[in-house]
């Protein structure tokens, strides 16, 4: 089996507007160009189609992460690089996904897109920080709802100090180092 046939899940965790999806899409483009099969499991799309009806309680967030983890592992076990830019704010939820992959013998990397909340709130890609500040929403991860940073991610990307291409290149280098790209 060549590395292009080997699947793996790359979970990009971080605050809203940290740059997770942007980095995942840049990496996906590069991997596709190298002949890899790649899917980006975007958190917003998953919530719309796979996890419709779930709210943002701790229990619902855990259920959402487990559903995404199941789909990612299924894809990865069939030779797809599953790039997962999903907040996944709780350590126990992320660890359960890692354990599922380990139990199935499927490659898994956790990447912390470690962008400070003040930078994310300026980027505010979806207007969530502005809505939270205006009192229109509550439970915003990293502001008035917890975000448990990974203690020992496979890679920590500080997207506020490097370009999207540099971030994607660092992640590609890790995949290469692990024999996955």
Binding residues: 14-21
User: Residue 139: left if φ>0, alpha if ψ -120 to 50, beta else—which one?
Assistant: left
Mention every residue, 6+ apart, whose C-beta is less than 8 A from residue 37: 4, 7, 79, 80, 81
Binding-site residues for ATP sit at: 14-21
Cβ–Cβ under 8 Å, residues 169 and 176:
no
> Which of 53, 92, 85, 89 has its CA nearest to residue 68?
85
> Which helix (H) or strand (E) segment is 13 a member of?
strand 8-13
Neighbours of 55 (CB within 10 A): 11
Angle 81-171-40 (CA atoms, 0-180°, nearest 5)? 35
Strand partners, 11: 84, 110
């Amino acid at each position: 089996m060549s590395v292009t046939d080997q699947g793996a899940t790359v979970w990009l965790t971080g605050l809203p507007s940290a740059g997770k999806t942007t980095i995942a899409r840049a990496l996906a483009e590069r991997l596709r160009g190298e002949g890899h099969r790649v899917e980006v499991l975007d958190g917003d799309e998953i919530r719309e189609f796979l996890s419709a009806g779930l709210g943002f309680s701790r229990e619902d967030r855990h259920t959402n992460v487990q559903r995404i983890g199941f789909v990612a592992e299924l894809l990865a076990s069939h030779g797809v690089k599953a790039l997962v830019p999903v907040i996944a704010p709780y350590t126990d939820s992320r660890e359960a996904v890692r354990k599922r992959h380990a139990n199935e013998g499927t490659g898994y990397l956790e990447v912390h897109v470690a962008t400070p909340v003040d930078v994310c709130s300026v980027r505010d890609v979806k207007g969530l920080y502005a809505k939270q500040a205006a009192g229109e929403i509550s439970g915003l991860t990293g502001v008035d709802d917890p975000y448990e940073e990974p203690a020992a991610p496979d890679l920590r990307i500080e997207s506020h100090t490097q370009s999207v291409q540099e971030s994607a290149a660092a992640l590609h280098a890790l995949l290469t180092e692990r024999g996955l790209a």
